[in-house]
Amino acid sequence: MTFKKSTTAKVLGIKKRLKKEHKKLTLPVKVLLWLTVLAVITGVFGVWYLGRDLPSFSQLENFTPELATKVYSADGKLIEEFFTQRRFYTPLSEIPENMKKAVLAVEDHEFYKHWGMAPTRFFIVTLKYLLSGGSTESGGASTLTQQLARRLYLTPEQTITRKLKEILTAIHLERAYTKDEILEMYMNQMQFSYATYGVESAARYLFNKSVQELTLSECALLAGAVQLPGVYNPFRNYDRTIKRRDFVLKRMLVENYISQQDYEQAVADEIALRERSNEAPIDDASYFTEHVRRLLYEKYGYDIYETGLNIYTTLDTRLQTAANKAIRAHLPKLQERVNRDFHKKSNFKYICPPSLLENQTLEQVLRNKALVDSIIAEKCRVQVAFVALNPKNGHILAMVGGRNFEESEFNRATQAVRQPGSCFKPFLYTAAIDNGLMPYNTKLNQPVTVEDMDGQGTRWTPRNYDHSVGGETTLREGLRRSLNLISVRLIKEDVPPKTVVEYARNFGITTPLEAVDALALGSIGVKPIEIISALACSPTRACMWTPFRF
């Protein structure tokens, strides 16, 4: 009982003293205390409010960068790269020390000392920025971790809210990763040159070499471009980019990352940029690699723009180069012949726009040479399709789908449907031999008429290519000379069109085919790659074409 009374007395005494102390507080002190409490409450609420849209720790800990996919030829050459952001992930251990030091010197020399944000640096840099009238030569206020947070998870908008979110995300990154892991992500995620992401892709884009081969001067140039990659583009603003490089080298000297001798040598170095050409390289395989991309997506569901795959194909760059050279040599000659033919009145009338003939005759249009040339250039541009297959396994060795991939991505080797002509005859003769006829059996090499070939009463009278006729001719001779009259008699009298279609299907032709007599002369369109694949294999086993090397 005594204990309880004494305890109660003490509590009452403390309350009385607090009341006395509270009465002694002046009004300004009370206001300051209330403002402090309000600031704390506001700060806690602000952190909670901003933190709602920030990435979770699971997102931060499971970093998956968008990587470029590499496509290799059968002889081990890199022939294409697919990407939404041109990026190749390079471990920090494989990045040269000069590259790391250049980035740290110009972007965040206290990177290994701060905890995601450097308040003192932020204040100093902001003050310098204001006093210098907006100059960025003193560096940015954001730490390297803040820049990475902005790149990975935030929008680039310039607002106070975004800046606060950036700081909070940077602090979370510092808690989730080590300093070296953050630096590695930075080196592979940031834009070190125009339209490229990561130091490896930038090195290839600007210098056509790997990051391990970069000189001190080249490392400084890349590090300087992080701030404004579109501005510090040596292909467009060479002098301005070199000035920025020299500033980075100066920063490296100030931070004792390089010696005075290294600095002077690097400043004096000439930057050798890779050669750029508007013409595709002679070993260009763009149609083939796009075909690979389409197959992977349509057949296997792979979106290779962000997955960072290494794809090994069957293409032989030597054959691809030979095909490209041959096409470049002969296509202009073919184009000249086509142009000459369509300058003739009898041919030009088919491509002349009807609107031109409303107020003038065709002869008057033909007198305007510039107009005629422009119409022919637009409507009579010769295209090409070429495929080389290995007949033993169906591997695609070379492919060309048009005259210029940049002008038209439509692949005429794999997507176009064209009349195969006499190339289709082997399927007819195979069906004939397989169904009891022998090569020495004969057919009359004389004109023949096909009645109602299209179901509308149309009569068709085919003839041989050289207009020749003859007597009884063996099937062997008919195939050797590609005689149309023998082929038509064969499909009319011995091998029904439906049977020919079935045999074509067994050879791998998937294009829809009409079971008509005209099939004997290849008048029904098929995809060029299918006809090539079918002719490259035995009749007992279809050899399906493939661009992949397994």
Domain extent listing, the chain: 85-268, 421-526
Judged by average pLDDT, the poorest of 62-66, 184-188, 289-293, 459-463 is 62-66
pLDDT given for residue 224 in this prediction: 94
Average pLDDT over residues 517-521: 91
The span from the CA of 441 to the CA of 493, in Å, is 13
pLDDT score of 299? 83
**Looking at residue 3, what is its pLDDT?**
45
pLDDT of residue 253: 95
Most confident of 137-146, 147-156, 202-211, 541-550: 202-211
| CA distance linking residue 175 with residue 116, whole number of Å | 9
Which pLDDT tens digit goes with each residue over 70-102?
899 998 898 988 877 666 789 999 999 999 999
pLDDT at residue 332 tops 80:
yes
pLDDT of residue 421: 92
CATH number attached to the domain at 421-526: 3.40.710.10
| pLDDT tens string 175-198 | 888 999 999 989 988 889 877 888
Give residue 438's pLDDT: 95
Provide the total of helices (H) and of strands (E) in the chain, helices listed first: 22, 9
Q: For residue 141, what pLDDT band results from cuts at 50, 70 and 90?
A: low
Tell me the one-letter amino acid at 442: T
The answer to whether 391 and 536 have CB atoms below 8 angstroms apart is: yes
57 against 498, higher pLDDT: 498
Q: Residue 59: pLDDT band by 50, 70, 90 thresholds?
A: low
**Residue 47 pLDDT:** 47
Decide if 85-268 and 421-526 have a common fold: no
Residue range 97-107, pLDDT digits in tens: 999 999 999 99
* Buried/exposed code over 122-136 (b: 16+ C-beta within 10 A; e: otherwise): beebeeebeeeeeee
Least confident of 40-49, 91-100, 330-339: 40-49
> What pLDDT is attached to residue 464?
93
Give the closest residue to 67 by CA, choosing from 57, 81, 78.
Answer: 81
442-444 vs 472-474, strand pairing mode: antiparallel
Q: Are 71 and 79 in contact (CB under 8 A)?
A: yes
The predicted pLDDT at position 86 comes to: 67
Question: In Å, what is the CA distance from 109 to each residue of 91, 96, 101, 114, 216?
Answer: 21, 17, 8, 10, 17
Q: Collapsing DSSP states into helix, strand and coil, what is residue 80? A: strand
Average pLDDT estimate for 501-514: 92
Instruction: Flag the least confident range among 148-162, 193-207, 269-283.
Output: 148-162
Q: Which tokens sit at 306? A: 């962000």
Burial class (CB in 10 A: 0-12, 13-18, 19+), 482: middle
Report residue 385's pLDDT band, with 50, 70 and 90 as the boundaries. very high
Instruction: Name which of 53-57, 437-441, 449-453 the model is least confident about.
Output: 53-57
pLDDT at 114: 87
**The pLDDT of residue 355 is above 60:** yes
Say what the pLDDT of residue 92 is: 93
> Which of the four pLDDT bands, split at 50, 70 and 90, describes residue 8?
low
Q: Helix (H, G, I), strand (E, B), or coil: what is residue 311?
A: strand
Mean pLDDT (whole number) for 397-420: 92
pLDDT score at 1: 45
Question: What value does the mean pLDDT take over residues 212-227?
Answer: 94
Identity of the amino acid at 404:
N
Residues of the chain with pLDDT > 90: what percent? 47
pLDDT at 457: 63
- Residue 283's nearest CA partner among 318, 329, 328, 326 is 318
**Model pTM score:** 0.64
Among 254-258, 331-335, 453-457, 482-486, name the one with the lowest average pLDDT.
453-457
Q: Which of the four pLDDT bands, split at 50, 70 and 90, describes residue 298?
A: confident
Confidence tier at 547 by pLDDT (50, 70, 90): confident
Which of the pair, 399 or 535, is modelled with greater confidence?
A: 399
Rounded to an integer, what distance in angstroms lies between the CA atom of residue 280 and that of residue 405?
9
- Smallest CA-to-CA distance from 204 within 284, 295, 136, 274 is with 274
Which residue type does 350 have? Y
What local confidence, expressed as pLDDT, does residue 489 receive? Answer: 93
Residues 336-351 have a mean pLDDT of 91
DSSP 194: T
- Residue 49: predicted pLDDT: 47
Give, in words, the CATH class of 85-268: mainly alpha
- Whether the predicted pLDDT of 13 surpasses 50: yes
In the chain, the percentage of residues whose pLDDT exceeds 70 is 77
Average model confidence (pLDDT) across the chain = 83
pLDDT of residue 539: 45
Question: What's the pLDDT score for residue 255?
Answer: 94
